[in-house]
Structure 1
Amino acid sequence: MMEIRNIAIIAHVDHGKTTLVDKILHTTKVFRENQDTGDLIMDNNDLERERGITIFSKNASVTYKGVKINVIDTPGHSDFGGEVERVLKMADGVLLLVDAFEGPMPQTRFVLQKALHLNLKPIVIINKVDKPNCRPDEVHDAVFELFFNLDATEEQLDFPTFYGSGKNGWFNNSLTQCEDITPLLDGIIKYVPPPTINEGALQMQITSLDYSSFLGRIAIGKVARGVINEGQNIALMQADGSIKRMKVRELYVFEGMGKRKVTEVVCGDLCAVVGLDEFNIGDTIADLENPEALPVISVDEPTMSMLFSINNSPFFGKDGKFVTSRHLRDRLMKETEKNLALRVEDTDEADSFLVYGRGILHLGILIETMRREGYELTVGQPQVLVKTIDGKKCEPYEILVVDVPSEFSGRVIDLVTQRKGEMHIMESKGEMQHLEFEIPSRGLIGLRSNMLTNTAGEAVMAHRFNEYKPWKGPIPGRNNGVLISKNQERTTGYSIDKLQDRGTFFVDPGEEVYVGQIIAEHIKPGDLIVNATEPKKLTNHRASGSDDASRIAPKTLMTLEECMEYIQQDECIEVTPKNIRMRKVILNEDDRKKVSKSMKSEMV
């Protein structure tokens, strides 16, 4: 029987996880010599490639010196924490990847805490030692301190460290450059323990799922005890205590980037099971005669909610294939099956649903994915989840870390304190200032764009959920109002030119707009209704060249996440496969006035 090592690669966003996996795949000759694979092989989803981040965890398997190494690439954003917690259950060791300049970041702490809690053997890799200003020795001390603060055991504190550069393709157990990453692969075999072999009746927890249009839903997990065979009758034990009798139709193990069909999988190996239906992540596949369940996977609670509704704008149904509330509901329910940190609730209105997630990025990725699949929908302003603890109203707080050039640090502190943030740490890292704050999650909404404007795009910020604490009171929102379209038609360069001194436009001349659509940011507080569709009146004698005098600034392009942070309570975003538009929830101005009057009288 072949020896097995199961490792998960964990790190903060952009510290080089996926590049390291590429190097492992190339070094172990997974591909033919002449095969063109490109970079970031594991990030095979379009969204992951565009954003340069890992969203979904993935498995690959390589063979080195006769040992099978199962590699799990995990996401680095805490918004995808639900994904990380599950897949760590399949590993016996973790490779903690840290940038030689930035050192351990908030998300590093988040994922490492989960790994140490599961008692996994850590190997530390200090990556990017070829970068200028890098400080590998200081970073090594900072990692040790982080382990200590997370209550690591004596054994975990005695972690092996490797240095190198994933981009240049070498890792060594000292700072001396070597030829390739074989010292690291030898280290994995030496330091990561083989999986514990438990004799007895079958037990396997489903920690991930895959879908194939040919095979249907596929359950993925690690065999924790016994052996699983093709054609075997098993008991599927669910979280609610129910037990279903099922049959394993096909079994696959991971090999290279794909899967290989087998007839049996032994204890300690990762496998994919075909033929089970109606299973959920966290269920246990057990022996039919004497079934025993493994503890259910618990995932951190969501901290943010958004209202998803059908698109009810005048441009409804122009771009999308899926536009009804039934389409929307089915798609959201399907997402909750594999996205553990997501929850969906019905509301009093038949065409609106409350969706709970871990943060703006988590919800933004879901909306962007749905949009690309051809859905049309409207989403409201993100709201944080409020809890009552010991009779007090409490809200989620986050730890915010900002690295910024020293000359901008004053502006950053000012911005964060305006939003009820408190500074805990301020220290210099070369020419950069490292600032750490505790801030209510509400204060983070809309902070990124403000901060980038105020620091000439130099600030690097990251945050992670900390805990629920008492409500901090009102936080100032957007300072400026918006310009709202008065009628439904195409905008004209003539009108936009005349209105440019009133605000910054989100639309170009010749774009179709409708009544109630937000077309620009006002330069003052308060909203303004404008006519941006008026054509130039022609006269019978025109001065030559007078039409060329209009100089229109190009429109401000806003991403979906920026729109989510920008809108206020009475506004929403219309999302279609081709367009993202901001609008007022109530499009008609008279109706808006009636509602605001009735709200004021209720408050009185």
Structure 2
Amino acid sequence: MVDGCILIVDANEGPMPQTRFVLKKALEKELCPIVVVNKIDRPQATPHISLDKVLDLFLELGASDNQCDFPYLFASGLAGYAKENLDDEAKDMQPLFKAITRYVPPPLGNPEKPLQLQVTTLDYSEYLGRIVIGRISNGTISAGQQAALINEKGDIIKAKVTKLMGFEGLQRVEMESASAGLIVAVSGFANANIGETIACPNQPQALPLIKVDEPTLQMTFSVNDSPFAGREGKFVTSRQIRDRLFRELETNVALRVEDANSPDKFLVSGRGELHLGILIETMRREGYEFQVSQPQVIYREVNGQSCEPYELLVLDMPEDSVGSCIERLGQRKAEMQNMHISANGRAQLEFVIPARGLIGFRGDFIRMSRGEGIMNHSFLDYRQLIGNIEARNKGVLVAFEEGISTFYALKNAEDRGVFFIKPGIKVYKGMIVGEHNRPQDLDLNVCKTKQLTNHRSATGDELVQLQSPIEMNLERALEYIGPDELVEITPESIRLRKIAKKFAKR
């Protein structure tokens, strides 16, 4: 929808790992970015070094000669000024506004030609249904007019523009008509998807389709069937969960939802753990209660060979964490492509890694970099299936009876591993309460109480402390669980459990 863009870079740190993905997309669209080196008022700022790093990144991403000859400015967003040269006097942002008008070309559309509007974004309203958002490439569109939707198969579906809205700041405003170059929101096309064209019904001409990245990970969403089911959630039935998932498809174009072989299970596919994690957290906050399985990669056949998705992984971390990260990623079948160590003691590493090798790595990376690392990854392509990847090498501690966890039981079992719960937490049979020190699972009674007697213990007055438990938030839980485990999601709690557990009589 844009004719130009601005790349903002920190004057001290230079381009960050996450800059690579968005800049690559902009260069692929043949845009010529205006580079703004921000935070030049900081004492440790090195604006010209940061600018050289930006040029290196442009060359690395295959920018054309015209794109490499980018305009640049120096600015301070905090102080509110921009300037073309460091030695210039600056009072306001006028140089930036002038650069936009000078280097960003005006829209190329012709309002006299037949209507062409490409769907770029989707929205949904309970009153209007699906709303499509895009820029008018050619022609004019008016509220109430007849138009034609050209779908990805080339079929032409005629419909009426029921409502036309434009944008003023961050607000949508109703419009009677709009012409080429404007970005508008249109309702009346219930089956429109990303990349399709809304055209003149008398002379329908499609624009080139936009390709949306396909999902790479899949999870099973199902009705919560644990002993605590229905206690904390507002929406708990399969019908309510199914309706919510299919409603998400109205706006989330990268998501796929299918009915599984059971009426209370649904296969949900997305672009990664973060994509699916955002959906889960949103549903949880809305009052939904359900359970999800371990994320699984989506395999494909390419030229008769079984292939799996690969990702480009970029890590930014302290230099002393490099060795442990390379070792751990080697175990996950990653290949290092590039490594750069800067003068400030930080290192940037690039890897190509199978998507399943990334499952569970984020938690390890945070620990290895002591919380100082930055991790970014994006889908690369499908490649031939690689060998087995080492999964979690430790078992779990599983509660074998329902009750309330006690300090006494947790303290006595401290030498068996680390816990995910504190004393006073309700547990049930089959619930995962911690990580075992050994590879196999271990069943524990975490509700055991101390037998009281009338004898005073010699150490009774000593202060006994329990080691801090590992807090299992949603992101960590999704990374941690194994193939035979589930994450129970409720508005109040996140619990880990075994899918089915049979316990011997004790």
TM range (shorter): over 0.9
Counterpart residue number, 1:143: 54
573-582 vs 229-238, greater mean Cα deviation: 229-238
Partner-residue secondary structure (3-state), 2:250: helix
Give TM-score, length-normalised by structure 2. 0.92
Contact in 1 for aligned 2:17/2:315 (Cα 8 Å)? no
Contact in 2 for aligned 1:124/1:161 (Cα 8 Å)? yes
Counterpart residue number, 1:384: 297
One of 125, 135, 145 as aligned partner of 1:232 = 145
* Counterpart-to-counterpart distance in 2, 1:374 and 1:450: 31
Matched, 1:184 2:116: no
* Counterpart-to-counterpart distance in 1, 2:239 and 2:340: 53
- Deviation at residue 263 of structure 1 after TM alignment: 1.3
Per-residue CA deviation, residues 414-473 of structure 1 (Å, 9 max, x unaligned), is 222222222232332012222222222222222222222233223222222222223331
* Counterpart-to-counterpart distance in 2, 1:544 and 1:213: 69
Per-residue CA deviation, residues 15-43 of structure 1 (Å, 9 max, x unaligned), is xxxxxxxxxxxxxxxxxxxxxxxxxxxxx
* Counterpart-to-counterpart distance in 2, 1:465 and 1:103: 24
Higher relative helix content:
1
Matched, 1:308 2:221: yes
User: Aligned ranges for residues 375-414 of structure 1 at < 5 Å?
Assistant: 375-414=288-327
**Please, which runs of 5 or more residues in structure 2 have no aligned partner?**
none
- Deviation at residue 549 of structure 1 after TM alignment: 4.2
Partner-residue secondary structure (3-state), 1:546: coil
One of 484, 498, 504 as aligned partner of 2:398 = 484
Counterpart residue number, 1:194: 106
* Counterpart-to-counterpart distance in 2, 1:571 and 1:274: 43
Counterpart residue number, 2:84: 173
Matched, 1:223 2:136: yes
Counterpart residue number, 2:176: 263
User: Aligned ranges for residues 41-440 of structure 1 at < 5 Å?
Assistant: 90-131=1-42, 133-176=44-87, 178-198=90-110, 199-430=112-343, 431-440=345-354
* Counterpart-to-counterpart distance in 2, 1:520 and 1:349: 30
171-180 vs 200-209, greater mean Cα deviation: 171-180
What amino acid maps onto 2:143 in structure 1? Answer: E
One of 427, 433, 439 as aligned partner of 1:519 = 433
Counterpart residue number, 1:600: none
* Counterpart-to-counterpart distance in 2, 1:433 and 1:102: 12
* Counterpart-to-counterpart distance in 1, 2:181 and 2:76: 31
What amino acid maps onto 2:33 in structure 1? Answer: P
Change in Cα spacing, 1:584 to 1:145, as seen in structure 2 (3 Å) is: same
* Counterpart-to-counterpart distance in 2, 1:544 and 1:100: 64
- Deviation at residue 545 of structure 1 after TM alignment: 8.6
Give TM-score, length-normalised by structure 1. 0.78
- Deviation at residue 133 of structure 1 after TM alignment: 4.4
Change in Cα spacing, 1:255 to 1:576, as seen in structure 2 (3 Å) is: same
Change in Cα spacing, 1:362 to 1:154, as seen in structure 2 (3 Å) is: same
Contact in 1 for aligned 2:9/2:38 (Cα 8 Å)? yes
User: Aligned ranges for residues 421-500 of structure 1 at < 5 Å?
Assistant: 421-430=334-343, 431-500=345-414
Partner-residue secondary structure (3-state), 2:409: helix
Partner-residue secondary structure (3-state), 1:121: coil
Partner-residue secondary structure (3-state), 1:273: strand
User: Aligned ranges for residues 573-584 of structure 1 at < 5 Å?
Assistant: 573-584=487-498
Contact in 2 for aligned 1:281/1:337 (Cα 8 Å)? no
Contact in 2 for aligned 1:121/1:193 (Cα 8 Å)? no
240-249 vs 345-354, greater mean Cα deviation: 240-249
Partner-residue secondary structure (3-state), 1:411: helix
What amino acid maps onto 1:513 in structure 2? Answer: V
Aligned residues: 502
* Counterpart-to-counterpart distance in 1, 2:153 and 2:305: 32
Per-residue CA deviation, residues 17-75 of structure 1 (Å, 9 max, x unaligned), is xxxxxxxxxxxxxxxxxxxxxxxxxxxxxxxxxxxxxxxxxxxxxxxxxxxxxxxxxxx
- Deviation at residue 573 of structure 1 after TM alignment: 0.5
Change in Cα spacing, 1:183 to 1:345, as seen in structure 2 (3 Å) is: same
Change in Cα spacing, 1:305 to 1:133, as seen in structure 2 (3 Å) is: farther
* Counterpart-to-counterpart distance in 2, 1:384 and 1:102: 34
Over the matched positions of the two proteins, sequence identity in percent amounts to 48
What amino acid maps onto 1:481 in structure 2? Answer: G
- Deviation at residue 541 of structure 1 after TM alignment: 4.4
- Deviation at residue 584 of structure 1 after TM alignment: 0.8
Contact in 1 for aligned 2:109/2:136 (Cα 8 Å)? no
Per-residue CA deviation, residues 327-368 of structure 1 (Å, 9 max, x unaligned), is 222222222232222122222222222222111111111111
Contact in 1 for aligned 2:17/2:375 (Cα 8 Å)? no
Contact in 1 for aligned 2:223/2:265 (Cα 8 Å)? yes
Contact in 1 for aligned 2:147/2:160 (Cα 8 Å)? yes
Per-residue CA deviation, residues 116-147 of structure 1 (Å, 9 max, x unaligned), is 22222321222333445444323322322333
One of 471, 483, 486 as aligned partner of 1:569 = 483
* Counterpart-to-counterpart distance in 2, 1:410 and 1:465: 25
